[in-house]
Chain A
Amino acid sequence: MAYSDKVVDHYNNPRNVGSFDKSRADIGTGMVGAPECGDVMKLQIQVNAATGVIEDAKFKTFGCGSAIASSSLATEWLKGKTVDQALEIKNTDIVNELSLPPVKIHCSVLAEDAIKAAIDDYKAKQGAGAPAEAVTH
């Protein structure tokens, strides 16, 4: 299968690879997918509580090149957005940006799920008012 140039670029030079301490109150962690399905994404956001702006984002992904590219792109897009703006990122935006073929649409869906899971985790921590154990799903 031929990959688009953008997928190849993200695969060769993945942006924002890494991990934050998931116990921190200003970090939201989303982990989606399953090893049996061939892809697992972990996406983390660091949020400025005063402004609600995502100041940093990191990811790690087990999956095909399109899954790696989808999550790498997601971290790029998240930085600088508010949490509410981040929730507006749709999987179809990722599909369009990376020119994903139909068989790889699930990679973009997974990236959208990871964003939502990370935000949910962050909000849960804020709601709880104290650092909580990150949910891993």
Chain B
Amino acid sequence: MKPIYFDNHATTPVDPRVLEAMLPYFTEHFGNAASRNHSYGWTAEDAVEKARKQIASLVGATSKEIVFTSGATESNNLAIKGVAEMYAEKGNHIITAATEHKATLDTCKHLEKKGCRITYLPVKGDGLIDLDMLRDAITEKTILVSLMYANNEIGVVQPIAEIGKLCKEKGVLFHTDAVQACGKIPVNVIADGVDLLSLSAHKMYGPKGVGALYVRRKGPRVQLTAQMDGGGHERGMRSGTLNVPGIAGLGAACEISQNDMPTESVRLRGLRDRLRATLEANLEEVYINGSMEHRLPHNLNMSFAYVEGESLLMGINDIAVSSGSACTSATLEPSYVLKALGLGDDMAHTSIRFGIGRFNTEEEVDYVAKKMIDVVNKLRELSPLWEMFKEGIDLSKVQWTAH
């Protein structure tokens, strides 16, 4: 039996309706969208322009503001590096946050080496940034604020509209990595005051390897320095032959997500809350990481005190989730996102991220909850820390032999 997939923040399966929209563009309509002088090219171009409209509609933009990329990592690179180069005469200061995705953080680190000054805002205990701190961080040299819409680990949704308003007031461009939010919660670049927005197909039931960057054309007209040289596709911002089947899939994924959002977000929230309620009713010493109020409807991130994350994953090997534990990462460091919330390493080690998706059912939620409860109880029986906690020993006062 295949494991139950509860890791929808990592990636999502392609919706069969999306696949159907893609298939003709692999074989029958294989043309290059840049071929202007025959019907193969025109058909491909039509598909691309249809997708552009579908994407623009999802985020409240116009078609001409959508630039296709290979995914959100490229979108983030293009937005941040493109602004840093284009606006270098205006300033060299960029503001981001400690809990951003590596595609943003590492791009900023790269620019830091090239002479940019980067401010990494801390977050509060609930994962939200402090707007006053952001306001104070903006200087005359600030050219860009890059803050994610919703976090990939804890699902916390930042006050994007307030950030957008503040950036507008200060005359600073605002980029948001909206990979986790697009198609899940309402995103509108006008209402949110966003100038640049990254999104990806594979987080919303589209294919891997395709994404987009929204680039505002009016009020202000945002310019970017291209990061790849070539045929000058995508209005000179991103060269490279367009991935027509992928783009058709991204478009279809956006349209389906937009149509289904009112009912689907309610359904997912119901499933997530059911999971949370069952776990909390049956287990003591479980803690939610990040704000529950400002959160994606399908995300739950919980720490199960006194059990180690990797052993927990081993016990639930018929369920696909991810852990903030060091042991599951290549770096042997526990999640930097959870640490940024002020969580100790010990609690970060015990965290599990649940990402519920379009194809999950209530039966699956109940199975996952029961399995989690069984395994946590079993591992606590095995845990010397649980035993000490039950004896009333304050673990923070014990002198451990760090190794």
Contacts and interface: CB of A to CB of B under 8 A. Distances in A.
Contacts of A128: none
A99 B162 CA distance: 54
A97 to B, nearest CB: 19
A90 interface: no
B325 A38 contact: yes
26 contacts: A11-B314, A32-B403, A34-B401, A35-B400, A36-B345, A36-B346, A36-B349, A37-B345, A38-B309, A40-B384, A40-B385, A42-B384, A42-B387, A60-B382, A60-B383, A60-B384, A62-B382, A62-B383, A62-B384, A62-B385, A62-B386, A67-B308, A68-B311, A113-B401, A136-B399, A137-B399
A118 interface: no
A136 B384 CA distance: 11
A61 B383 contact: yes
Contacts, number: 92
Given A60-B383, A63-B308, A38 B327 contact: yes
B400 A33 contact: yes
B201 interface: no
Interface in B382-403: 382-387, 395, 398-403
Interface string A16-53: 01010000000000011111111111100000000000
Interface of B: 306-311, 314-315, 325-327, 332, 334, 344-346, 349, 381-387, 395, 398-403
Interface of A: 3, 8, 11, 14, 17, 19, 31-42, 60-65, 67-68, 103, 106, 109-110, 113, 136-137
A34 B384 contact: no
Contact of B311 (A19, A31, A63): A63
B310 A62 contact: no
